[in-house]
Structure 1
Amino acid sequence: MKRGMLLNSEISYVISKLGHTDTLTIGDCGLPVPDGVQRIDLAVVKGLPEFMPVLQAILEEQEIEKVILAEEIKSANPVLLHEILSFIERTGVKEGKTIDVEYVPHEEFKKKTRDSKAVVRTGEYKAYANIILVSSVTF
């Protein structure tokens, strides 16, 4: 559910339509977007925009209760994983709640994107810079 002042109208529109447990995916430049799922392509060149600023901007708007990450991020990209988890924890503390974190194999992650209302494509090119945000409610 929408709560902030995100400038990107497509992302803002998608967030405004999300209901409880609907999902929104943020992906790196290599994550495949399934047929039938809205693609919001922010990628300009390799590395722009990076994953974390996009995640941070979206979480200023979207109320979440859980995130889903690929299991492989633990070994392939521990630095980004630490950044994500730290930010998610701070977001939860600010909201006075705990945000659950689920890990699934990358192939299963890609299958789960089929149920997302949209996939936001960043220019990120670091391994496994992908996340599924599970919407909560604002009440």
Structure 2
Amino acid sequence: MKKNGMLNSEIAKVLDDLGHTDTLVIGDLGLPVPPGVKKIDVALEIGKPSFIDLLTLLMEEMEVEKITLATEIKEQNPSQLVAINEIIGEQSDVVFTSHEEFKKQCITAKAIIRTGEATPYSNVILQSGVIF
């Protein structure tokens, strides 16, 4: 039995299978999951686990070269954007796109992990990097 790190077996399996440029999405309660994309729903109740809790853990477990956020987060949820920036630092390129385009990009994700987050535009696409 694992003692630390990602204990959720479904998420751990997705992380193990990621290759360079594959994407993984962390979403809030309302993010739609396109047909054919694996959904891992970790929501326990509204707010738990939070988007930030999961992003923090995934940034420790995953080599991320690019992060995509909806442009709308800048005005609709600036405090969440501040928290995201504190977690990612300068580790990855950050790209902003419209929420509609963001949802279109989710179609190619290896998985979408839905959290209990209930604040607007608390969604991120993490693009896998390479460790060498």
TM-score, structure 1 as length reference: 0.90
- Give secondary structure in 1 for the equivalent of 2:89: helix
Give the conservation status (yes or no) of the 8 Å contact 1:12–1:61. no
Corresponding residue for residue 34 of structure 1 = 34
- The percent identity for this pair of structures is 51
Structure 1 window deviating more from structure 2 (51-60 vs 68-77): it is 51-60
Residue 46 of structure 1: aligned partner:
46
The whole-number CA distance in structure 2 between the counterparts of 1:115 and 1:82 is 27
User: Given the alignment, which residue of 94, 107, 129 partners 2:100?
Assistant: 107
1:132 CA drift (Å)? 0.2
- Name the aligned partner's letter for residue 6 of structure 2: L
User: What amino acid is the match of 2:95?
Assistant: E
Q: 2:67 and 2:113 mapped to 1: Cα distance?
A: 15
RMSD: 1.1
Correspondence for 1:21: 21
Cα deviation, 1:49-89, whole Å, max 9, x if unaligned, reads 11101111111111000100000000000000011012111
Corresponding residue of 1:86: 86
Q: Which runs of 4+ in 1 moved over 2 A?
A: none
5+ unaligned residues in a row in structure 2: which ranges?
none
Q: One-letter code of the match for 1:132?
A: I
Aligned to 1:61: 61
For the residue of structure 2 that corresponds to 1:60, the secondary structure is helix
Distance 2:50 2:98 in 1: 23
Is the CA contact 1:49–1:122 (under 8 Å) kept in the aligned structure 2? yes
For residue 136 of structure 1, what is the aligned residue in structure 2? Answer: 129
Deviation, 1:107, is: 0.3
Shift of 1:16: 0.6
| Aligned mates of 2:128, 2:30 — CA distance in 1 | 24
Which amino acid letter does the alignment assign opposite residue 34 of structure 2? Answer: P
